[in-house]
Amino acid sequence: MSASQALGSLAVGNIKRFLPFILTQIKEEASRRYLLVYALRELITSDSVDAAGQQLFSSNIDTIWQGIITQANSTESTRIVVAECLGKLCLMNPEKYLSELVNCFKSSDPLVQLVNCFKSSDPLVRSTALVAIRYMISDKPIPADALLMKVLPIFFEGVEDENIDTRRLAIVLASTVANHKPFLIRDSLDKILPHVYIETTPRKELQREVEMGPFKNLVDDGIELRRSAFECLYNLVEHCLDRISFHEFAENVEKGLTDVHDIKQLSYLTLIRLTETCPHQIAQHSDAIADTMKVHLLSKPKQNAVKIDNDKQEEMKRMVVRALIAMKGMQTHERLPKVNELFELVIKDFAAVLAEVKADGSV
């Protein structure tokens, strides 16, 4: 990696000499492709290029683009760096390169390019395009925002993709946009959310049993996809709830409260955020939520549980108490009997957990 950074730094200082070498090596040296693409990344992201170098870089930007885009279906580690490079190049000339990114290089018409490229038959290329677009999203306004407004709905179609990783990356893109530039996603939510909701439910076809000696473990290949879906819901709370059917949204958040540990935690954080933004609406779901909370509080560790499992269970109890305090503090007209009943149980049987949560200042 140090050698890649050094080569990239040399290219920053002498583009004319080192850029052709790097591009040729990327094409010919498959075993070192990741390191060479990383060196090119150093050049693309550098702020140290002088005026003459910038002019030379600009005159070679098409060559750089073609050298990188051909690696869009490389190994995963290489694709990540390729995607970052593509995203940065798109920021330099969004009118041209954003069109080519969505296109698959089949048409000279930009609008046709936008539709065709993202629908490449290669899921690796589609995934790389999604990550590249994500590198264009930031908190600050940029000239490319107007064009992104037009093309993002095309990329959001990835939530329906047949490839699981492409679906996940499309949801991650939606989550990123919701977090940083929600105005770019609000008009697309009615098409995106039904597919995000689908991914909040564990799928049996993505689960398999693996034998490890005398034991059988259940492996769920859909966990990362579900986690991304719940992260998307979390990011939508702050800026986009006015464009969402709340009760359907809340029902899907509730699903996460019975999922694996990480997703439970994330769903409780989403619940806490909902108590702050729309207490009256979430109060209507309080009975079902309180029932789930009670199960988590009263659960006992298994006899053969290891330390990490016990730690997770204690962490979950703290999270439940934190969420319960947030619900108890909601300003609503409803009396929330089950929430109050559960809070009395916490005061009686989980006083130490309650004191710990209050002491850490998280409520």
Could you give the 3-state DSSP secondary structure of residue 305? Answer: coil
Beta-ladder partners of 212: 215
Question: Degrees (nearest 5) of the Cα angle 286, 200, 304?
Answer: 85
Give the pLDDT band (50/70/90) at residue 67: confident
- 52 versus 201: which is more confidently predicted? 201
Whether 303 is in a domain gets the answer: yes
320-332, pLDDT tens digit by residue?
999 999 999 998 7
Whether 61 is in a domain gets the answer: no
- Distance in angstroms (rounded) separating the CA atoms of residues 1 and 294: 50
What's the confidence (pLDDT) of residue 319? 97
* Long-range contacts of 4-11, Cβ-Cβ distance < 8 Å, separation of 24 or more: 4/35, 4/36, 4/38, 4/39, 4/42, 5/38, 5/39, 5/42, 7/36, 7/39, 7/42, 8/38, 8/39, 8/40, 8/41, 8/42, 8/43, 8/46, 9/42, 9/46, 11/39, 11/40, 11/42, 11/43
Number of neighbours of residue 172 by Cβ within 10 angstroms: 21
Who contacts 175 (Cβ-Cβ below 8 Å, separation ≥6)? 228, 231, 232, 234, 235
Give the pLDDT band (50/70/90) at residue 112: very low
What's the confidence (pLDDT) of residue 5? 80
What's the confidence (pLDDT) of residue 29? 76
Least confident of 100-114, 143-157, 235-249: 100-114
What's the confidence (pLDDT) of residue 363? 58
Identify the domain containing residue 296 by its residue range. Answer: 280-363
Which of 232, 100, 126, 236 shows the shortest CA–CA distance to 173? 232
What's the confidence (pLDDT) of residue 334? 72
Tokens of 107: 């048409």
What's the confidence (pLDDT) of residue 49? 63
> Buried (b) or exposed (e) across 221-235, using 16+ Cβ within 10 A?
ebbebbbbbbbbbbb
- 202 versus 45: which is more confidently predicted? 202
Give the pLDDT band (50/70/90) at residue 104: very low
Number of neighbours of residue 347 by Cβ within 10 angstroms: 10
Q: Is the Cβ–Cβ distance between 314 and 352 less than 8 Å?
A: no
Whether the per-residue pLDDT at 105 is higher than 80: the answer is no
Note if the pTM is more than 0.75.
yes
Whether 243 is in a domain gets the answer: no
Whether 317 is in a domain gets the answer: yes
Whether 352 is in a domain gets the answer: yes
Tokens of 81: 């760096």
Residue type at position 54:
Q
- Distance in angstroms (rounded) separating the CA atoms of residues 241 and 253: 13
Whether the per-residue pLDDT at 107 is higher than 50: the answer is no
Whether 338 is in a domain gets the answer: yes
Give the pLDDT band (50/70/90) at residue 262: very high
Whether 77 is in a domain gets the answer: no
Who contacts 359 (Cβ-Cβ below 8 Å, separation ≥6)? none
Q: Are strands 207-212 and 215-220 parallel, antiparallel or unpaired?
A: antiparallel
Length of the chain counted residue by residue = 363
Beta-ladder partners of 216: 211
SS (H, E, C) 104-126: CCCCCCHHHHHHHHHCCCCHHHH
Number of domains within the chain: 1
Which of 179, 65, 193, 191 shows the shortest CA–CA distance to 132? 65
Whether the per-residue pLDDT at 60 is higher than 90: the answer is no
Give the pLDDT band (50/70/90) at residue 119: low
